[in-house]
A = this chain, B = another copy of it.
């Protein structure tokens, strides 16, 4: 018999704002957003979920948020501001998902209301997931507080939680309705998190924008010494490149090309091998070093460019070796290749650099050359603290 072909497009739009002191009464940005979103006849609510790591550094934040919303009636703030643990544990605990869903239920947060997440990438991932599956998608606002989430995950369209030890096994593609990057949150990050977030900027520069890479080389010392102006440029440009990549390509990743996974196959494995003691951005730095050395060994990336990339990361303070790289059994880093291939659906696709700013995908990796690259890092890098 016959068939009917269904076909439609869904348009997604959201602003990513760059600001400081977001919850200061003098900053109208967030309230203007809610004001613009008013709809006749709807009393919209906003449920805040805060990252414990943020409230520890900013104990006045809940009171500030309450005061900020007191002056208006565009949106009703749910007075119970919920705090959840930060970091990977936010994504590991199924009970947290239940707790947040129950809050959405109890406070009557519907499809016209908002869930607002303030925190690092893990908390944003958790809250984004909960918002995406409740009532088939509640509007969610992201307020990323780390370099990594402000320049990368927080401005994108993914969410996810871990399931029985499998990273991001559960998740969806669900764009936020708005993102507010407040640079002041970056000033209270510890040095490791300040630095770790830079690796995604290096990644996107290496894959897409050689001029941005040169700018980071010029700013390397300033960034290493926590110069906020240099960081603002970096976060803004990285977020912009990341957003362009999403909009220009395959936002919901229906195909199989994933150039922004550069350096990630070994990074994911390294995080696991170290039980997340090595943070994502730190692992990505090592992963990129490994893949650059590999590209150099197969005659792609020049000696000079390889040195420049490794030196930039060293200047920023990254350790480019970790003993877990030498886990010499079936569960070692090379196992990450197999897992990455499975994750991609059966065919390995790894982006390697021809030159700074241009990568080419390969479908085979020579394990011996990976081992040589690891050995080089072991011999040239000082041990991490």
- Taking a contact as CB atoms under 8 Å apart, the answer to whether B346 and A42 are in contact is yes
**A357: interface (CB < 8 Å):** no
A19 at the interface (CB under 8 A from B): yes
Residue of B at shortest CB range from A243? B6
A228 within 8 A of B: no
Task: Give the distance in Å from the alpha carbon of A16 to the alpha carbon of B168 in the complex.
Answer: 31
A376 within 8 A of B: no
Q: Which of B1, B136, B155 contacts A20 (CB 8 A)?
A: B1
For window 170-216 of A, CB contacts with B under 8 Å fall at 170-175
Q: Does A112 contact B (CB under 8 A)?
A: yes
CB distance from A76 to the nearest CB of B (A): 10
Copies of the chain in the assembly: 2
Cα(A98)–Cα(B127), bound, Å: 20
A40 to chain B, nearest CB (A): 8
Query: In the complex, which of the residues B13, B42, B174 contacts A5, with contact meaning CB atoms closer than 8 Å?
Result: B13
Kindly list chain B residues whose C-beta atoms are within 8 Å of the C-beta of A175.
6
> Contact at B136–A6, with CB atoms within 8 Å?
no
Whether A110 contacts B346 by the Cβ 8 Å rule is: yes
A108 nearest in chain B by CB position: B342
Structural contact, B347 and A42, CB atoms closer than 8 A: yes
Contacts of A329 in B (CB 8 A): none
A158 close to chain B: CB less than 8 A: yes
In the complex, which residues of chain B have a beta carbon less than 8 angstroms from the beta carbon of A7? 11-13, 247
Query: Are the CB atoms of B9 and A10 closer together than 8 Å?
Result: yes
Residue A17 lies at the interface, judged by CB distance under 8 Å to chain B: yes
Q: For A134, list chain B residues within 8 Å (CB).
A: 169-170
Q: Which of the residues B1, B40, B158, B171 comes within 8 Å of A133, measured between beta carbons?
A: B171
A325 within 8 A of B: no
Contact B133 A170 (CB under 8 A): yes
CB pair B169 A172 closer than 8 Å: no
Q: Are B160 and A111 in contact (CB under 8 A)?
A: no
Residues in B neighbouring A41, C-beta threshold 8 A: 346-347, 363
User: A363: which B residues are within 8 A, CB to CB?
Assistant: 41
Contact A247 B6 (CB under 8 A): yes
With A17-B3, A101-B163, A136-B171 given, is the CB distance from A345 to B111 under 8 Å?
Answer: yes
Alpha-carbon gap, A344 to B166, bound state (A): 36
Closest 10 CB pairs of A and B: A112-B345, A41-B347, A8-B247, A3-B17, A1-B18, A9-B9, A7-B13, A110-B345, A42-B346, A136-B171
22 contacts between A and B (CB under 8 A): A1-B18, A3-B16, A3-B17, A3-B18, A4-B16, A4-B240, A4-B243, A5-B13, A5-B14, A9-B10, A42-B346, A42-B347, A44-B346, A105-B164, A135-B343, A136-B160, A136-B171, A136-B172, A137-B172, A137-B173, A137-B252, A172-B174
Give A contacts to B, CB under 8 Å.
1-20, 39-44, 101, 105, 108, 110-113, 132-137, 155, 158, 160, 163-164, 166, 168-175, 236, 239-240, 243, 246-247, 251-253, 256, 342-347, 363
